[in-house]
Chains A and B, each alone.
Chain A
Amino acid sequence: MSTTASGATSKISVRNLKKSFGANEVLKGINVDVAEGEVVCVIGPSGSGKSTFLRCLNKLEDITAGTVSVDGFDLTDPKVDLNAVRQHIGMVFQHFNLFPHMSAIQNIMLAPVELKKMDKAAARAKGMELLERVGLAEKADARPASLSGGQKQRVAIARALAMNPGIMLFDEATSALDPEMVGEVLQVIRDLAADGMTMVVVTHEMGFAREVADRVIFMDAGVICEEGAPEAIFSHAEQPRLQDFLAKVL
């Protein structure tokens, strides 16, 4: 863990992050650095604070204490333009959260048109490129309601990529999918990893984490319990809590 001055290679730097909902402290002091191009998978039992941690990285959750820096911007600084920072961070949700009143391509075009004032033709061309990348070019004009779960999530990934973010956050992106659709979504994420995207992936797919992650973080009860290379985590777990967890899920 780099404790040296905000490393030039550190895309995300989290220091002593605490988050409470009322009296309930969900995150109890998290310290993490994510290097450029690194893929970090976060695993742990439900209620361990994985999703809350991820949502603090683009400040969908207010931060109770500590600091979160992304691309050199301190998210806890009230002067920082959150909307600008968020354009550098793509996020994919468990329940897709596609906009149901827009077609697939309109979902993707929304941010470029609104934020970059891109003209519609250019935004559409860019959107089609992204849809091709996730293998759904033929579904451009389909409404989300007519797409399968796996297709929805692939469109959601394409939407998250529309602003050319340097970082992607995945919040249990395959948990709500039927088993036969998990593969197609994981493949898209795998491709992104291969392209060198910096990613933080909260997941229950242990096989995927082991295969794709550069580093695995095991969270339990609001703290990082153990972290390391996939091999070390999955084959040489030190903490009894991690051993218990792996025994249950593997």
Chain B
Amino acid sequence: MLAVLALSLGIASASASVLPAPAPAAAPMMPAAAPAAPAAAADVQGKTFAIATDTTFAPFEFRNGSGDLVGIDMDLLRAIADNQGFKVDIKSLGFDAALQALQSNQVQGVIAGMSITDKRKLIFDFSEPYFDSGVQMAVAKNDDTVKTYADLKGKTVAVKRGSEGETFANSIKAKYGFTVKALADSATMYDDVKAGNSVAVFDDYPVLAYGVSQNNGLKIVTPKERGSSYGFAVNKGQNADLLAAFDKGLSNLKASGEYQKILDKYLAAPATAQKTSFFDLLVNSFPALMKGLGMTLLATAMSLVIALVLGVLFGFFKVGESRILRILANIYVEIFRGTPLLVQAFFFYFGLPQLTGQPLDVLTAGVITLSLNAGAYMTEIVRGGIQSVDPGQLEASRSLGLSYVTSMRRVVVPQAIKIMTPSFINQFVITLKDTSLLAVIGFAELTYQGQQIYASNFRTGETLIIVAALYFIVIFILTQLSNVLDRKFNK
């Protein structure tokens, strides 16, 4: 549990598929009865494996202009899968989240530019190394004061949490007298340096080199440190067949030269990105952002419908006469109003599957989280609305001989709805904005798509302006519409 809650709050993670993906493919199914002929090794042919990866660890994994997940890891994994005849369902979750997903068996493997370390070997089985990395230091392009580690004295450097860069920085920080600040992803690190909060970053050389080529605003100032090797990981003692297939495929690709071709594509001479205009950015990012907006609206709509049902149910519990139901409603409201939405999202996506063994796809987990959270607020809105109707209304209705239920339905609720409508519209806007928090569990909504875009083009400010404008426009239109409907029906 603690590990789940300790997850980074940084960049997002998501199912690579934009549409609600079915629950991650279960571990390869064994045929009900073993075939007569002894299968030498469990076969991976034709099976689909869910593989988790980082959101942006360019050039290993990132989204290209059209929103597709590409990079060395991605190309390599797909080529190996082709070579070995299995299929992969790639889940772009973020580094920490990918490891969590693997440990909770939401996925069968992780490929995320992950260094093979002794500590990790205790819980994961690794493939043969597929890449040898090394750490370099980079500073802001216009910074001429920091050229060596010695220049870092008294300064702060940014590293990516759990990365080789972090390990290396920690190993020399005492010697050179600097402070290490761990952040969740590369784009955030670069922004931290550009904003002047940190003076330098330590990151794997291919990642830094790629970022610099994409105008991330940094320059590399030190030579490459001897680094570790990257490997593909599965849970210890599980999915040995998948691991074996990966190794076999890797050696086939190396032999055929395809492996080198993939590396060259991203490392030899990455095309230096031309700085394009804001309008180009808008046009290029529009399709991905629209997909994200669609998911935002879908999650909002589903969550609000469920939240409304919960709110009405528990709201009536709260004003009703049963003590037990009142207590039940109170507990529900206190729990979901008294804990952060982010913690709830982590719990339903990572925590609950570990407790129940039943994985939840990210849309389901996200909608459950938002519904229960918004439902708690809706409960209070419904309670407040009903209680603000003059008690004389219920008395007059009961005195006519109408039952409690009929009185509520015909007399109290119609008046309460009128009182509640502005609060409902408000909650609707809040829930719509709260969907952005689901980016951290990798729900591919609008904010997440925005993060994906600036993670590969490093144009954080401009991208966020576009994202914010989209939220603003949609919320403005929908609230105006709600107000018109309110005036029309609640005269």
Q: Is B414 an interface residue (CB 8 A)?
A: yes
A137: min CB distance to chain B, Å: 21
Complex Cα gap A93–B390 (Å): 13
Q: Is A95 an interface residue (CB 8 A)?
A: yes
Residues 150-194 of A contacting B (Cβ, < 8 Å): 156, 159-160, 162-163
Q: Is A248 an interface residue (CB 8 A)?
A: no
B125: min CB distance to chain A, Å: 68
**Contact between chains at A99 and B400 (CB < 8 Å):** no
Using CB atoms and an 8 Å cutoff, list the residues of chain A in contact with chain B.
58, 60, 83-87, 89-91, 93, 95, 97-101, 110-111, 114-115, 156, 159-160, 162-163
**Contact between chains at B406 and A114 (CB < 8 Å):** yes
Do most interface residues of chain B lie in helix, strand or loop, or is the interface mixed? helix
Selected contact of B395 from candidates A83, A84, A97, A110, CB within 8 Å? A97
**Contact between chains at B399 and A115 (CB < 8 Å):** no
B402: min CB distance to chain A, Å: 6
Cβ proximity bits B389-429 to A, threshold 8 Å, 1 near / 0 not? 01011011111111100100011001100100000000000
Give the one of B396, B398, B403, B406 with max A CB within 10 A: B396
For A58, the chain B residues whose CB sits under 8 A away are 399
Selected contact of B400 from candidates A86, A100, A101, CB within 8 Å? A86
21 contacts between A and B (CB under 8 A): A84-B401, A86-B401, A91-B396, A91-B399, A95-B392, A97-B392, A97-B393, A99-B393, A99-B411, A99-B415, A110-B400, A110-B410, A110-B411, A111-B401, A111-B402, A114-B402, A115-B402, A156-B396, A159-B400, A162-B400, A163-B401
For A87, the chain B residues whose CB sits under 8 A away are 400-401
Give the one of A89, A114, A156, A159 with max B CB within 10 A: A114
**Contact between chains at A83 and B403 (CB < 8 Å):** yes
**Contact between chains at B401 and A115 (CB < 8 Å):** yes
**Contact between chains at B401 and A83 (CB < 8 Å):** yes
Complex Cα gap A159–B402 (Å): 13
**Contact between chains at B401 and A100 (CB < 8 Å):** no
**Contact between chains at B410 and A114 (CB < 8 Å):** yes
Residue of B nearest to A98 (CB): B396
Residue of A nearest to B406 (CB): A114
**Contact between chains at B395 and A111 (CB < 8 Å):** no
Selected contact of B392 from candidates A85, A89, A93, A163, CB within 8 Å? A93
Using CB atoms and an 8 Å cutoff, list the residues of chain B in contact with chain A.
390, 392-393, 395-403, 406, 410-411, 414-415, 418
Residue of A nearest to B392 (CB): A97
A25: min CB distance to chain B, Å: 22
Selected contact of B415 from candidates A93, A95, A101, CB within 8 Å? A101
For B392, the chain A residues whose CB sits under 8 A away are 93, 95, 97
Give the one of A95, A98, A101, A163 with max B CB within 10 A: A101
Selected contact of B396 from candidates A83, A89, A93, A163, CB within 8 Å? A93
Complex Cα gap A95–B392 (Å): 8
A171: min CB distance to chain B, Å: 10
B390: min CB distance to chain A, Å: 7
Complex Cα gap A161–B403 (Å): 18
Residue of A nearest to B490 (CB): A101
Complex Cα gap A153–B147 (Å): 89
For B415, the chain A residues whose CB sits under 8 A away are 99-101
Residue of B nearest to A88 (CB): B401
10 new A-B contacts, CB < 8 A, other than A58-B399, A86-B400, A111-B401, are A60-B395, A83-B403, A85-B401, A93-B395, A97-B390, A97-B392, A98-B396, A114-B406, A115-B402, A160-B400
**Contact between chains at B398 and A86 (CB < 8 Å):** yes
Give the one of B392, B399, B402, B415 with max A CB within 10 A: B399
For B401, the chain A residues whose CB sits under 8 A away are 83-87, 111, 115, 163
Give the one of B400, B415, B418 with max A CB within 10 A: B400
For B400, the chain A residues whose CB sits under 8 A away are 86-87, 110-111, 115, 159-160, 162-163
**Contact between chains at A89 and B399 (CB < 8 Å):** yes
**Contact between chains at A97 and B396 (CB < 8 Å):** yes
For A156, the chain B residues whose CB sits under 8 A away are 396
For B398, the chain A residues whose CB sits under 8 A away are 60, 83, 86
